[in-house]
């Protein structure tokens, strides 16, 4: 029985770790969604800005052209940085999923082991009871009537 209790204690610890990982994973997924929505907004803004610049008619001053080109370059850099943020968030999720799966596998294995230990205890107890019953039956009067 002590072995079962020890395995159950380990299951509690590993199970807690699994639940914590699941919580981290849920938070990481929310963060990924946030980063992806930022990327979509940035791309949309960049496309709108480019479309407005292309739709302009007439002459443009060289200084304003340099400013527009510089702004588009910074905007493009911001999009690239946000793409990297999305990639890092996805990498974090991938790592958390792998850790969670490994922990879940451990919990399952420990639960199966605890189940087998409980079954062994039940079988041993049943054998003891059967032996006690057999012994009591062999001592009872009237069993040896031959």
Domains of the chain: 2-56+64-115 (1.10.287.1700)
What contacts 100, CB < 8 A, 6 or more positions away? 18, 21, 22, 25
Does residue 138 register a pLDDT over 90? no
Q: Tell me what the mean pLDDT of segment 110-120 comes to.
A: 92
What are the tokens at 32?
């990924």
In 1-61, alpha helices (H): 2-55
Exposure of 128 by Cβ count < 10 A (0-12 exposed, 13-18 middle, 19+ buried)? Answer: exposed
Measured in degrees and rounded to the nearest 5, phi and psi for residue 96 equal -65, -40
Tens-digit pLDDT profile for residues 49-91 = 999 888 887 788 889 889 999 999 999 999 999 999 999 999 9
More confident residue, 55 or 97: 97
pTM, two decimal places? 0.72
Tens-digit pLDDT profile for residues 4-57 = 888 899 999 999 999 999 999 999 999 999 999 999 999 999 999 999 888 887
Contact 94, 26 (CB under 8 A): no
Exposure of 126 by Cβ count < 10 A (0-12 exposed, 13-18 middle, 19+ buried)? Answer: exposed
* pLDDT (0 to 100) of residue 17: 94
């Amino acid at each position: 029985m002590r072995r079962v209790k020890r395995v159950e204690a380990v299951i509690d610890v590993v199970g807690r770790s699994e639940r914590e990982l699941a919580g981290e994973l849920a938070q990481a997924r929310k963060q990924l969604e946030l980063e992806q929505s930022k990327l979509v907004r940035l791309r949309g803004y960049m496309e709108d800005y480019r479309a407005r610049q292309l739709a302009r008619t007439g002459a443009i001053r060289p200084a304003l052209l340099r400013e527009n080109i510089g702004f588009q370059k910074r905007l493009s850099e911001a999009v690239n940085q946000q793409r990297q943020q999305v990639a890092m968030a996805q990498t974090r999720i991938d790592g958390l999923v792998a850790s969670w799966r490994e922990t879940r596998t451990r919990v399952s294995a420990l639960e199966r082991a605890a189940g087998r230990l409980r079954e062994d205890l039940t079988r041993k107890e049943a054998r003891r009871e059967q032996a006690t019953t057999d012994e009591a039956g062999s001592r009872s009067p009237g069993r040896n009537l031959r």
